[in-house]
Amino acid sequence: MTAERIPARVPTSTYRLQINADFDLDAALEVLPYLDDLGVGWLYLSPLLEAHPGSDHGYDVVDPSRVDPARGGRDALARLANEAHRRGMGVVVDVVPNHVGIEAPSANRWWWDVLAHGRASRYAHYFDIDWDAADGKVVVPLVGDDDLTTEGGPIRNLHLVDGMLGYHEHRFPLAPGSAEGTDDPQLVHERQHYRLVGWRAADQHLNYRRFFAVNTLAGVRIEDRDVFEDTHDEIARWLREGWVDGLRVDHPDGLRHPAAYLDDLAALTGSGWVVVEKILEPGEELPARWRTAGTTGYDVLGLVDRVLVDPAGAGPLGELDARLRGGVPPWSDLVHTNKREVARTILNAEVRRIARELARELDVAPDEAWRAGVEAALVELLAAFPVYRSYLPDGVAHLEQAAETARRERPDLAESLDLVVPLLSDRLRAPALRFQQTSGMVMAKGVEDRAFYRWSRLSSLNEVGADPDHFSLHPDDFHAAMARRQLLAPAAMTTLTTHDTKRSEDVRARLAVLAEDPAGWAEAMDALLEAAPAPDPGFANLLWQAAVGAWPLSRERLHAYAEKAMREAGDRTSWTDPDPTYEKGVHALVDAAYDDPAVTAVLDRVAARLAAPGWSNALTAKLLSLTVPGVPDVYQGSELWELSLVDPDNRRPVDYGRREALVEAGGTPARPTSIDDVGAAKLHLVRTALRLRRYRPELFVRYEPVPASGSAAGHVLALDRGGVVAVGTRLPLGLVEGGGWRDTRLDLPSGTWRDLLTDRPAAGDVGSLLDTLPVALLLKEDA
């Protein structure tokens, strides 16, 4: 990143708060003194615009013209922002430019108007609708299987009510005059600008862009100036009033022109601090011309996780998973297969739309053979695309790589590929733009929401923005990546846990220990399968890793995880076609964890063995995330141990009173060793590091590795930020079994050092330095 791209104001850190009806903006105001004392630089708030009634996440905005009253409203935002600024803190808010919520049409006046007036609606161009694909109507996939008669026939439970068309509890507007002269709901339905169809029809016949495969989130055309202004008018007010200092952009890959959108935000914010939720594949970098401080940090998360994983565990854990699954394909093959599957099924409507746009560009009237060939070619290109998306002309090489793979896999599609690829390479052509918006959807659904649940070698590596096939990272490579980050993206966000991570940071840190003891995990899996036979031993590997990673957790939480995980995997059951027999067998495993003493004993034993080295990994990971280049984000509550699984488990309420009491207790916490440790050491670390970053930012201006020597040098990871040295422990189980630190020393930069975590002088002897905690945060005394 060039110096002129670094905003004038950059937070020293952020703290993510999930704002909803149960924890609104006034509740955030109440915990502000605690967050201020914790050392937080800026509050980082989840989406605030009015969302679908009852939404606990806010990514389904229905009215972008106001702050959600359920979340406190505009006045509450002003109160919170003013008090934060009085305390010297800032505010960054998550914004959602890609889509709006349409689950309840009456809650979204734009969508309601489009349904009522069709193409004549003043808001028709706000939405990304292919009107010609459904005879000028919007396809609304809603009708249950039991209410369908014949194709295009009457719909059961359709009725007229209060001047609207009703289907069960759902309500839809009537086109002006469409109910005159009849009280027949079927006839009235035929006269509307929308067509209610079976819910399964979305996979192939939906004609509006959506967020991934979520039919109730409709894409908006933010590239049109009036749409941008109407969706950002309230956000602009926050910036004018000085309430908000920066923005986090959700899902920029769904936008037609992400770079242009970021230019608009730069103008709106006065080139303020803006970060983007862009998922980078290993080795990929943000487009150079994007006006952003950087990503939200998934790329760093993957590096931190892997530098704490023992590479020796890759082979044995892979062999175990292959044995349990009856063979495991290479990760690249699994990804390709799953991406192809989602492009053929749940996202096939998007494939068909690209094909229709290709036909328009070529001015052909496609017959069935033409459509079949082109759609198959598109499926293969999407399946083989190596990154989430391109930004033409940047990334054309990715399309060429995908085309080469497609030609090798499907030589029978050569003619269709020759026809399609040149058009998809032209950034001025509509099909190319549509393909770019679609490839990220296919990657996300095929990998994050499917392949991740079919691969259980070491599930802590199955994380957003990371490649599970990349098992570990050498410390030298970690240091090189961080030095490059200091050079290119010093103001980007770093993170360990988000509302989207599949497992929280401390679950992943505990599971990383399995790589140090793969034989122990294989023994535990055999014991678990003997005590509780599984309908799918491979999935049981994934499930039991989740259990020991978050142990102890409630029966209800593990049941919820099991349901989501097996349905996302999609190989034995799914959300759309659940297999009751299979699901009953999986839920029986969960019950066995609590009801069968043999199963409980194994889980207790494994979790107890993982506890101390897991806490060590967790403290090191947290230290790294707080001290490496970038703006560290602390996800709500994760200043204590955070043992959450996939959403909505990671959006549970946070007990701030408990955290405040631990801060007030003070003192240097002892090294955490037991499974029931409360996390005081982590809170102490977070508070110490955040306060140092907030009040001494000049100490975090460069990046240098601190070399180590001695018999356990490979177990220490240390870095110098220019007056602050962070020291962490790697592979703690192996460290203990190898005899400890012994003669290991750090070659500290010259000067007199003090460890802020233990408040005592510090020197290069690692055994003395880390005898109280597995981490240290050193400050040069004369700094």
Tokens linked to 739: 């005899």
Tokens linked to 425: 């390479």
CA dist 417 and 415 (Å) reads 5
pLDDT tens readout for residues 8-39: 899 999 999 999 999 999 999 999 999 999 99
138, 87 Cβ separation under 8 angstroms: no
CA dist 562 and 541 (Å) reads 12
pLDDT tens readout for residues 661-677: 999 998 889 899 999 99
556, 520 Cβ separation under 8 angstroms: no
The band of 284, judged by pLDDT with boundaries at 50, 70 and 90, is: very high
CA distances from 646 to 14, 239, 435 (A): 22, 33, 29
pLDDT tens readout for residues 79-116: 999 999 999 999 999 999 999 999 999 999 999 999 99
Tokens linked to 229: 């202004």
The band of 3, judged by pLDDT with boundaries at 50, 70 and 90, is: very low
pLDDT at 6: 77
pLDDT at 782: 77
pLDDT at residue 292 is higher than 80: yes
CA dist 636 and 744 (Å) reads 36
Helix axes 555-569, 580-595, angle to 10 degrees: 150
CA distances from 386 to 469, 565, 629 (A): 14, 25, 27
Helix, strand, coil: what percent of the chain each, to 5? 50, 15, 35
Closest CA to 549 of 500, 606, 596, 587: 606
- What is the mean predicted confidence (pLDDT) over 588-606? 98
CA dist 393 and 427 (Å) reads 7
Quickly list H helices, 570-718. Answer: 580-595, 597-627, 656-665, 680-695
- Residue 464: half-sphere exposure toward Cβ, Cα within 13 Å: 25
Q: Of all residues in the chain, what percent carry a pLDDT higher than 90? A: 97
CA dist 446 and 210 (Å) reads 16
pLDDT at 500: 94
CA distances from 494 to 74, 498, 539 (A): 29, 11, 31
CA distances from 676 to 184, 604, 684 (A): 64, 11, 17
Mean per-residue pLDDT over the chain, rounded: 96
pLDDT at 5: 63
Sign of CA dihedral 146, 152, 154, 158: positive
- What is the mean predicted confidence (pLDDT) over 736-750? 96
pLDDT at residue 345 is higher than 60: yes
- What is the mean predicted confidence (pLDDT) over 530-549? 98
Distance between start and end Cα atoms, the chain: 28
pTM for the whole structure:
0.96
10, 245 Cβ separation under 8 angstroms: no
pLDDT at 667: 84
Let me know if 320 is exposed, middle or buried by CB neighbors in 10 A (0-12, 13-18, 19+): buried
128, 209 Cβ separation under 8 angstroms: yes
pLDDT at residue 692 is higher than 90: yes
| C-beta contacts of 426-434 below 8 A and 24+ residues apart | 426/392, 427/392, 427/393, 429/361, 430/357, 430/360, 430/361, 431/354, 431/357, 431/358, 431/361, 432/392, 433/256, 433/257, 434/353, 434/354, 434/357
pLDDT tens readout for residues 367-397: 999 999 999 999 999 999 999 999 999 999 9
pLDDT at residue 1 is higher than 80: no
pLDDT at residue 634 is higher than 70: yes
pLDDT at residue 254 is higher than 50: yes
The band of 153, judged by pLDDT with boundaries at 50, 70 and 90, is: confident
- What is the mean predicted confidence (pLDDT) over 290-308? 97
| C-beta contacts of 358-367 below 8 A and 24+ residues apart | 358/419, 358/420, 358/423, 358/431, 360/430, 361/423, 361/429, 361/430, 361/431, 362/419, 362/423
Tokens linked to 250: 């959700």
CA dist 239 and 674 (Å) reads 47
CA dist 395 and 401 (Å) reads 10
432, 424 Cβ separation under 8 angstroms: yes
Tokens linked to 337: 């297969």
pLDDT at 783: 64
CA distances from 9 to 6, 92, 180, 487, 534 (A): 8, 12, 60, 18, 54
pLDDT at residue 541 is higher than 70: yes
The band of 326, judged by pLDDT with boundaries at 50, 70 and 90, is: very high
pLDDT at residue 605 is higher than 70: yes
CA dist 711 and 348 (Å) reads 57
Q: Of all residues in the chain, what percent carry a pLDDT higher than 70? A: 99
DSSP per-residue codes, 218-251: EEB-TTSHHHHHHHHHHHHHHHHHT---EEEES-
pLDDT at 283: 86
pLDDT at residue 152 is higher than 80: no
CA distances from 708 to 52, 422, 705, 719 (A): 54, 53, 9, 11
